[in-house]
A and B are shown apart, each in its own frame.
Chain A
Amino acid sequence: DTEVTQTPKHLVMGMTNKKSLKCEQHMGHRAMYWYKQKAKKPPELMFVYSYEKLSINESVPSRFSPECPNSSLLNLHLHALQPEDSALYLCASSQVGMSAYGYTFGSGTRLTVV
């Protein structure tokens, strides 16, 4: 299995809603990442988990809350988002220390905040 699976593929939520994005991989990768990508822009790093511990938080607002319950799963909890948070949210995984060698992205969740 060489895939990173993200669910849901599309999500529309109101500014008062609470929702979660899910990411799963079974490649034995111990580094997992959340990226945000706006239209016609490169992916922007949000969070990095290494061995299930948060190692990088790129000063992301607290309305985004990551969670890594085990080595295969990565969640992103969303609460009180703003319309400008609408974007494609990408999950990726890699071997620890090998991010550029084997960075596998999921297809993303297209999030629309209304």
Chain B
Amino acid sequence: QQQVKQSPQSLIVQKGGISIINCAYENTAFDYFPWYQQFPGKGPALLIAIRPDVSEKKEGRFTISFNKSAKQFSLHIMDSQPGDSATYFCAANGTNFGNEKLTFGTGTRLTIIP
């Protein structure tokens, strides 16, 4: 129940195209859903996040769509650029005995080709 399933495992998109990464969860107690971007040799960096009472959040070229009834959320990257090439992790925040814990998805390696 603590799992977050992420797809696809890898994604190749042409420059200027839309990159879409999907995640699904089971635990309805998750209360916050962030996306992290990780470049090789670096730690993950928070990209954008959403609460379950909101269906969409947009920040620049990045949009999260959230479907609470389906327990799914996705990241859309508009006008994808070569600099967006990185590994993306979705995550879900839950509280267990008063302790917060982030559960990460398995990751998507995104490659933007010119």
A contact residues vs B (CB 8 Å cutoff): 4, 31, 40-43, 45, 48, 50, 55-56, 90, 92, 97, 99-108, 110
Contact = CB atoms under 8 A, between A and B. Distances in A.
A107 B42 contact: yes
A10 B8 CA distance: 31
A78 to B, nearest CB: 19
Nearest to B6: A42
Given A42-B107, A45-B102, A55-B99, A100 B93 contact: yes
B88 to A, nearest CB: 11
Contacts of A40: 107, 109
Interface residues of B, number: 23
B43 interface: yes
The B contact surface, by secondary structure, is strand
Contacts of A108: 41-43
A55 B101 CA distance: 11
B97 to A, nearest CB: 9
B49 A100 contact: yes
Contacts of B99: 48, 50, 55-56
A41 B43 contact: no
A58 to B, nearest CB: 9
Contacts of A97: 100
Most chain A beta-carbon contacts within 10 A, residue among B102, B104, B106: B102
Given A40-B107, A42-B106, A100-B49, A56 B101 contact: yes
A82 to B, nearest CB: 24
B71 to A, nearest CB: 17
Given A99-B100, A100-B91, A103-B34, A90 B43 contact: yes
A106 B106 contact: no
The 3 A-B residue pairs with the shortest CB-CB distance, nearest first, are A105-B43, A100-B93, A42-B104
Contacts of B89: 42-43
Contact of B107 (A4, A41, A104): A41
B5 to A, nearest CB: 12
A55 B95 CA distance: 12
A42 B105 contact: yes
Nearest to A91: B43
